[in-house]
Structure 1
Amino acid sequence: MARDLRLYWWGQTASTVGSLFTAIALPVVAVVHLDASPGQISLISAASTLPALLFGLPAGVLADRIARPRRALVLLDALSALAIAVVAAGVAAGLVSIPWLIALALVSGSVSVVTEVVYFLHLNQVVESGELTRARARLQSGQLGAGLVGRLVAGPAIVAFGTATALAIDAVSYLLSAAALLAMRPVPPLDRTPAGGPSSFLRDALAGGRILFDNRFYRALLILLAVPVVAGAGTGALGGIYLLHTLHVPTGVYGLVGMATGLLGLLGSTLAGRILAPHRDARRIIVLCYVATSCFALLYPAAGGPLPLAMVVAGLGMGIPSLFGAVANIALSPVLVAETSEEALGRVSATLHVYSGGLGLLGALAGGLLGDLLGIRPAIWTLSAADVLAVLLTAPLALRAIRDAPFRPEPDAGPAEPAAVGAQ
């Protein structure tokens, strides 16, 4: 299994590098080449979250009925490669427009919905019992390290070779990810019950919501995350305009602002393996990390002054929250596995994505509206301040739910193998 995890690591890492090229290239296309307004930018961002709202619950049911998750991931990688290659060709031909970018966001968001709910099912097939947290930390460390490489080279590559080349690199990276999945050893299919009729499908689709509602910590977590998800989506939607126009960051070094995100996120992934010891309650760590993430995000709208200083402060405003977010993301894995049966894991994950997707859609549209009404920086300040206030008010609720519920640590399978050095 160690060989398969290394292959999975390489495939995910390659895909992450490519995704960073697209993440940096698309704002350049929208803001610099197409002169998109905050409202148009928010529509592109909203399009990427809309599929989670529309298809999340059906995707969860399908995931819990998929006997071979790896095959599904290969098909999803191929679809992503095709969609990005089409847009790259449109950019090269000078045909691309805002609707093209919205369409790509819709396709990418739809693929992401299914990928996220299938991810844990496949990872559980690859790793041994009790090794999920360590494996998740290794994969996330690789993805964040790859993000550093992507941010370092994407900006200069866009300046030298153009945005179409950057998008083409991402398309190739998805093919490399699919190749890594195909090279892994076969695993037995999951034992799935036969699919029922439409009524059974609807009942299964709503099961994830019932599980979340019946679990006191899950209920508190949903309340805690409500405003932060909205604020994060709104801030993210305005990020390209904020950096390129408000702070006047040159296109060639635009990606470097996010270097702190990769560096500190990588540090967070490394620390997570130590912090998330078997005797520690991962739920408490999740709550504390979300509080820290919201508070340190206030650095982002505070960026200003000389360009180097502004880039550093903006980078820290993204990077320090990334550190705590990386720990929280890894901590969520054992919580989901401990609090949810394997048969319902896909549906619970999908319901969480639907919830986040709905809030993200609202946040993206709110960010565009606030940007048009207040201006870019005041809009980000408003979203960030609301985030901090909401988290400080709701975190005690989540901590109280944790105190009143028993702690169930991830089962330990014995001594761990040495971790190899180095999400999509």
Structure 2
Amino acid sequence: MLRTIPLRRQRDYRLLWGARVVTEAGSEVSRLAVPLTAVTLLSASPLQMGFLTAAASLPFLLVGLPVGALADRLARRRPVMIGCEVVAGSAVLTVPVAWLAGWLSVSWLIAVALVVGTCTVVFRNFNTPHLTSVVPEHQRTAALAGFQSVFAVAQLGGPGLAGLLVGVLTAPLALIVDAFSFLVSALCLRSIRAPETPAEQPRKQSHRQPREQSHEQSHRQSLRHEIGAGIRTLVGHPVLRALTLAGMTVNLFGAAQLAIYVLFAVTVLGLPGWLVGISVVGFGLGGLLGAVVAPRLAERFGGDRVLLGSVLFFPAGFVVMAAASGPVWLVSALIAASEIVVGVAVVCFSVCSGAATLREAPADFIGRVNASINFGTQGVMAFGGLLGGVLGEVLGLRPAMWVCAAGAVLTIPCLWWSPLTRGARAPHAEAANSPSTAPPPRSSPEDEQK
């Protein structure tokens, strides 16, 4: 038996992990500084805040699917990821420059959000298949949990750093930190030495592979056909379809809430600027705990049970946010506590869902399936941002928050009415040895690595 080297001792994984640390820490500064810039310096309306939120997710709808197909085609994905970081950092840097020159507007912020969002789409779709070149299959669940810990740590410390920078430098100038973080991430990625697995290399054919996809990786095939194959693989697989639907539901109403959160926190709850990020701090702490316990819970109870249990807690943060009132200290404590619970649940869901996707998706389709999932779960946030802005304008901020809370409850039946319930009822040892809780779709091959 080959000796397994722990991830923390693998140089390339540490660099990949470190790249995400600095980028996510910088992005947390932007998540607070950009909306604060729009609200406090540019007097943005709820509808404008909705457009600003939607702009970050719109690229998932515009370019997400073709980018996923290209990620499966290209043999070298790392240079593309490095380029994304450089372009995104340059775009963010234009905000403080424009502010100092007197050119900054809400439209400028929306344009920057579109550029950074496009880079995010490309990076994420290339990062998932790239991970298979850096981390062996049996360590990928732990690797995904490690990435979730990055997001959690950034969310835990990012708002405090952002609040300090905004207070000292003002919101636009604080974005310089985010721009610098993209450059550091690019340098970390550039230092990875692991050879990338060519996307076009011949693979052993399986008797379960459908005829129309037997030469799926040939360059002669049209991009449209490859995109369609990825969508059919996702839609035809009951488990992947249920996970995607759950992600779309929570992200739709999460983006709607996010679009009006800063306005709600400042004007309705009366939170000072440095406390506006308290929800992110709570979520980050919960996410850090979730990253620690998720692999252990999955190992002990099985991924299906963890997924079903995690969605039960998703609505908690929405409900507390909508109902919050009273003195600042009480509101802050309630929001932080509820977000800790939600953070644990969301990260457990994300880790187990990501592992299930790598397991269930055919090996040659990982990029396209991942792009299709991102197209749905991230692209829907563009509509969510617009929904939140419209609800805030028409109903008012607190009623809009209650609508978001009611919508978050719909996440529960997305999974509980799926084949995952059968896998959860099965003995854990038997389920662990089974490749799937549902039969593979007729339109796509079953992954031989399950």
TM-score (norm. length: structure 1): 0.90
Structure 1 residues 186 and 217: CA distance shift in structure 2, 3 A: closer
**Aligned counterpart, 2:261:** 239
* CA–CA distance in structure 2, aligned partners of residues 340 and 253 of structure 1: 42
- Among all aligned residue pairs of Structure 1 and Structure 2, give the percentage whose two residues are the same amino acid: 30
Note the 1:259-298 alignment, pairs <5 A: 259-277=281-299, 280-298=301-319
**Alpha carbons 1:238, 1:368 under 8 Å: kept:** yes
Structure 1 residues 258 and 358: CA distance shift in structure 2, 3 A: closer
SS at match of 1:305: coil
Structure 1 residues 330 and 345: CA distance shift in structure 2, 3 A: same
Is residue 360 from structure 1 mapped to residue 381 from structure 2 by the alignment? yes
Shift of 1:123: 1.7
Structure 1 residues 149 and 67: CA distance shift in structure 2, 3 A: same
Is residue 331 from structure 1 mapped to residue 331 from structure 2 by the alignment? no
**Alpha carbons 1:38, 1:372 under 8 Å: kept:** yes
**Alpha carbons 1:292, 1:324 under 8 Å: kept:** yes
* CA–CA distance in structure 2, aligned partners of residues 360 and 383 of structure 1: 13
Note the 1:404-419 alignment, pairs <5 A: 407=431
* CA–CA distance in structure 2, aligned partners of residues 3 and 155 of structure 1: 33
* CA–CA distance in structure 1, aligned partners of residues 154 and 381 of structure 2: 25
Shift of 1:321: 1.4
Shift of 1:154: 1.2
Is residue 221 from structure 1 mapped to residue 233 from structure 2 by the alignment? no
Shift of 1:23: 0.7
* CA–CA distance in structure 2, aligned partners of residues 271 and 48 of structure 1: 30
* CA–CA distance in structure 1, aligned partners of residues 199 and 415 of structure 2: 39
* CA–CA distance in structure 2, aligned partners of residues 68 and 254 of structure 1: 41
Task: Output the amino acid matched with 1:301.
Answer: A
Structure 1 residues 4 and 223: CA distance shift in structure 2, 3 A: closer
Deviates more, 1:142-151 or 1:331-340: 142-151
**Aligned counterpart, 2:205:** none
**Aligned counterpart, 1:313:** 334
Shift of 1:283: 3.1
The gaps in structure 2 that reach 5 residues or longer are 1-8, 202-216, 436-450
Deviates more, 1:144-153 or 1:297-306: 144-153
SS at match of 1:301: helix
* CA–CA distance in structure 1, aligned partners of residues 422 and 91 of structure 2: 43
Task: Output the amino acid matched with 1:314.
Answer: I
Task: Output the amino acid matched with 1:155.
Answer: G
Task: Output the amino acid matched with 2:131.
Answer: L
Per-residue CA shift, 1:224-279, capped at 9, x if unaligned? 444322211101111111112221211233334421111111001111121121x7
**Alpha carbons 1:25, 1:158 under 8 Å: kept:** yes
Shift of 1:111: 1.1
Per-residue CA shift, 1:188-247, capped at 9, x if unaligned? 4424167635x6210101111101122121233344444322211101111111112221
Task: Output the amino acid matched with 1:335.
Answer: A
**Alpha carbons 1:300, 1:316 under 8 Å: kept:** no
**Aligned counterpart, 2:212:** none
* CA–CA distance in structure 1, aligned partners of residues 356 and 251 of structure 2: 20
The gaps in structure 1 that reach 5 residues or longer are 412-424
Deviates more, 1:397-406 or 1:364-373: 397-406
**Aligned counterpart, 1:421:** none
**Alpha carbons 1:258, 1:319 under 8 Å: kept:** no
Is residue 163 from structure 1 mapped to residue 166 from structure 2 by the alignment? no
**Alpha carbons 1:301, 1:314 under 8 Å: kept:** no
**Aligned counterpart, 1:417:** none
**Aligned counterpart, 1:140:** 148
Per-residue CA shift, 1:5-60, capped at 9, x if unaligned? 11222221111111111111011111111111110000111111111011111011
Per-residue CA shift, 1:311-336, capped at 9, x if unaligned? 12222343321211011111122201
* CA–CA distance in structure 2, aligned partners of residues 260 and 117 of structure 1: 28
Is residue 209 from structure 1 mapped to residue 231 from structure 2 by the alignment? yes
Deviates more, 1:349-358 or 1:41-50: 349-358
CA-based RMSD of the aligned residues comes to 2.2
* CA–CA distance in structure 2, aligned partners of residues 409 and 110 of structure 1: 39
Alignment equivalent of 1:196, drawn from 193, 197, 219: 219
**Aligned counterpart, 1:396:** 416
**Alpha carbons 1:338, 1:410 under 8 Å: kept:** no
**Alpha carbons 1:281, 1:409 under 8 Å: kept:** no
TM-score (norm. length: structure 2): 0.85
Task: Output the amino acid matched with 2:348.
Answer: V
Structure 1 residues 63 and 195: CA distance shift in structure 2, 3 A: same
* CA–CA distance in structure 1, aligned partners of residues 381 and 196 of structure 2: 37
Is residue 251 from structure 1 mapped to residue 259 from structure 2 by the alignment? no
**Aligned counterpart, 2:50:** 42
